Amino acid sequence: MKDPIAQYLARHAEPETADAERLAGSFGHALVIPAYGERESLFNLLGSVPGGPRGPVLIILVLNARADSPPAVHEANEEVRRRLERELPAAAGSPAELPARAYSIRAGGTLLLVDRALTDRYLPEGQGVGLARKIGNDLVLALRAGGRVASPWIHNTDADTILPNDYFEQTAVLDHDGTGAAIYSFEHRFDPDPAQAEAARLYEISLRYNVLGLAWAGSPYAYHSMGSCLAIPAQAYAEVRGFPKRNALEDFHALNKLAKVGRILRLAGQPLLLEGRISERVPISTGKAIAGLVSRRGALTGFRLYHPAVYAHLAAWLRVLAAIARSGGNATEAITELPSDNPFFRTDVLRETLDHMGAFPAIQDAIARSSDEETLLRHLHTWFDALKTVQLLHALRDGGLPSVGYLQALAEAPFTGLTASTEEDTEALLLQLIAEERALAATPAGVGLSS
């Protein structure tokens, strides 16, 4: 069988991997950072990058823009170029003709600036952060294949993040074999403006509520899809053919594939600090969500979450899939696992939604391929993946289980650790959800999906 890393580099890698041969030195760890219109936050991040236990750190900074990017983005990118040139010395041993500029950083490390924000090197229209991440990760993969990066992990973050001191140690102790990705824990730094801070807290509450609900339901896709908190084993990265080049949700779609080739590990070390800021950099993001909450009248006081019953319906469906696998493919009998006499359970809506999604033909296809319990369950969860899970939650919400106010949802959900006496203190509520979520860290998501 061909080496998936060699095969990926030969067939799917970006042209920038040629820079790997021109870059001097070997490294213990590698970190990829896409930067689009960033200023001080980027340099705060660079200052927080710690040393690693396996040797010097390589930072690959992918400066990017498109021809249609706003003038402010191009101005900020130019300031990044000038400041790097002004504050960092050129890396020793790197030839002057290197298309990407290499700079020396502390402890023998290197910062490699890959500039896709120049007039003749703009990212293509319709592409964005996904391509920027792919360029950086492909470069690390090429260096790893050449024996020049010791760690098997490709680390990814965003330009508004502060890394903890144990950042590289957290993955250094993990077994990367059979692992699709590792997700760092995180916390947001909130803006001094009260409205922005409240919006960011509510948005983070929604993220944590959803992951806790998915975990309670038994979903193997119960993790945060955040490119800022992601580390990927080189082997798994090659197996899923890297990041999609899209300009939003590239982390969600990459993790959806990674969960199918290995476990998704939730890390319990020091959290990464993310900036809870308003941002228009990509069409779907934390910054975009915060901006929407701040700008819409009544959005904060009327903030809503999925009805807890949505996750109960998901749990029932996942039990059906498990029963099908246990029975060796008896789908008819397994469907009886769905409640039929519970007035609070909308079996009609669930079955109608699943039928519309093509679930039952997909089940028959999975049964035809295998009757072994473990393999069949993997096939079933490969079809009913993270994207299908989101589609089901949305359909249940729109088809008879509408979202409710966040205080009601948090109080009634069996997975939040909160009670009916829940008060409107978003800071305290968020801390409780963080504590509940950290208790999940010892349990990997994605169990049963890898072969």
Q: HEC profile for 353-408? A: HHHHHCHHHHHHHHHHHCCCHHHHHHHHHHHCCHHHHHHHHHHHHHCCCCCEEHHH
14 vs 292 pLDDT, higher one? 14
Residue 411 lies in a domain: no
Same domain flag for 248 and 311: no
Residue 320 inside a domain? The answer is yes
- Pairwise CA distance, residues 90 & 122, whole Å: 24
**pTM of the predicted protein model:** 0.92
Tell me, yes or no, whether 238 and 316 share the same domain: no
pLDDT at 67 over 70: yes
Is residue 286 a part of any domain in this protein? no
Parallel, antiparallel or unpaired: strands 263-266 and 179-183: parallel
H or E element: which one contains 183?
strand 179-183
- The residue with tokens 């798994």 is 236
Q: Is residue 157 part of a domain?
A: yes
Chain-centroid distance of CA 413 in Å reads: 24
Confidence of residue 281 (pLDDT cuts 50, 70, 90): low
pLDDT reading at 287 higher than 80: no
User: For the chain, how many structural domains are there in total?
Assistant: 2
Question: By percentage, how much of the chain surpasses pLDDT 70?
Answer: 91
Residue with tokens 């990407």: 100
How far is Cα 247 from Cα 447, in angstroms, rounded to an integer?
Answer: 29
Assess whether 231 and 318 both reside in one domain. no
Average pLDDT over residues 375-397: 96
In a domain, 191, yes or no: no
Query: Considering the domain boundaries, does residue 88 fall inside one?
Result: yes
Q: CATH code at 143? A: 3.90.550
Cα 183 to its chain centre, rounded Å, is 7
Q: Quick one: 77 and 163 in the same domain?
A: yes
Residue 298 has pLDDT above 60, yes or no: no
Position 448 scores a pLDDT of: 42
Q: Please check whether residues 253 and 369 belong to one and the same domain.
A: no
Q: Same domain for 231 and 361?
A: no
Same domain, 398 and 315: yes
The residues pairing with 231 across neighbouring beta strands, listed in sequence order, are 155, 182
Q: Is residue 188 a contact partner of residue 213, using CB atoms and an 8 Å limit?
A: no
Q: How far is CA 19 from the centre of its chain?
A: 27
Residue 209 lies in a domain: no
Do 317 and 176 lie in one domain? The reply is no
Least confident among 13-22, 179-188, 274-283, 295-304? 274-283
Distance (Å, rounded) from C-alpha 116 to C-alpha 76?
A: 14
Between residues 17 and 299, the one the model is more confident about: 17
What average pLDDT does the segment 286-295 reach?
62
Average pLDDT, the chain: 90
192 in a domain, yes or no? no
Are the CB atoms for 378 and 399 separated by under 8 Å? no
Q: Which structural domain, as residue segments, surrounds residue 340? A: 307-402
Choose the weakest-confidence range: 61-75, 293-307, 332-346, 421-435: 293-307
Rounded Cα–Cα distance for residues 374 and 299 (Å) = 45
Q: Are 383 and 244 found together in one domain?
A: no
Q: How confident is the model at residue 191 (pLDDT cuts 50, 70, 90)?
A: confident
Predicted local distance difference test score (pLDDT) of residue 196: 83
